[in-house]
Chains A and B, each alone.
Chain A
Amino acid sequence: MLKLSRLFGGALAAAALLAASSVLAQKKEIVIGLQCDRTGPTQTVGVFLCPGYHDYIALVNSKGGVGGAQIRAMEIDHEYKVPSAVESYERHKKEGAVLISIYGTPQTQALTQRLTEDKIAGTSPGFGTAAAANGDRYPYIFPIAATYWSQAAGAVQFAKDKLGGSLKGKKIAYLFYDNPAGREPLPVLEALVKEEGFEMRTFAVPPPGVEMGAQVLDIVQRFRADFVIAHLFGRSPSVSIKELKRAGYPLSKVVSFVWGASEADITAAGGWAAAEGYYGIQFAGVGSDYPVLKEITEMYKKQGKPAPKEMASTVFYNRGVLIAAIHVEAIRNAVKAKGGTNITPHDVKLGFERIKGFTLGGLVPPLEINNVDHEGGGWVQVFQAKGGKWVKSTEWFKAYPTLLKRMLATHG
């Protein structure tokens, strides 16, 4: 039950908010179209990622916004449904959004052509197709974070380092969710097999991905893999941790792609003690040891509020902060180039292509986005589950850049 006093307080706050927003309306505001999924199949990500996004925008606004203009991130939840995503895109366009933060692979694909026609930049960090890194082919799609191809290259590079600097004659198992996203890294892995001379075997996990006992036994006892690269979604990463552990495989020889390496996966796998040693690739810094996160906590403290509980899930929350930060940086570049806040979506697109040397204290990799490379280099960092939290295991690195560039040119 909502208490009367709280209701009254809420109404007051709302009135204050309305008054505040009418003051803001006189100033120029810059609108970002933010798609979220807080209720659909990937809600476990959205409930942390989206608050992270909003908190960073609030932080920027509390410091006076960009070029004097406040930023409004207009969130629409599309439940991971394509028709809703199309509708929300058109709504954002009507509201004058200068860029669209897309969420979800099918949604990215459904909006690609429309974004190009309308000349509005859309970002697809951690999903969409790897080919979108090619700015010549997809001028208005920006992955802005390591694609599955870069993650695959990063995983192989990491395995190589862990196995003593050479993969010749080693056996690597690729355990993947049997959907297009799961199969996307295969061409890169196969090219790396030729280049590095290791033996790879693929193990598909059919959706919904909660049954993989047979695959894991195969990996551990028959194939006797030296290293396991896992690319799983939803519940399945936690299942893979449990099954590998049960089969007696050392988790310190397992590295997961970005969607299988969150705090939630560790909790679901039976806690930090059970998952000790497990590696995860990240495209955003993990942990709360970044200045920007302290600033957000400070901002809340000034308002007399505790830091949001979503911050505890540092993997997804930080990704939200990273996405927002890159968006704001692109807007900042656009405002700077234009010399004013009346920027168009096309200005923001050019703003993205000027992002360089923006690291936010290590939370963001040293991206270099330009008109050809919309991925920014494909930087990844590996973290390890150790002593109750994710511990940094490598610095930011990009793996096999020339091979990936060649493949983007031929496969894209």
Chain B
Amino acid sequence: MKEIKKDIKKFISNVMDREYKKASNDLSSVINKKIEQKILNNNINIF
């Protein structure tokens, strides 16, 4: 959860600095982590 918040913080600061490419990467990372969390929370077996 902390990792996700860190990534969101990075995303916001990159948007403020108009570094949109970096912001896009940060947002992708956040979404990936959110989906991982979703998989874990819903006990989806990936193996």
Q: Do A and B come from one complex?
A: no
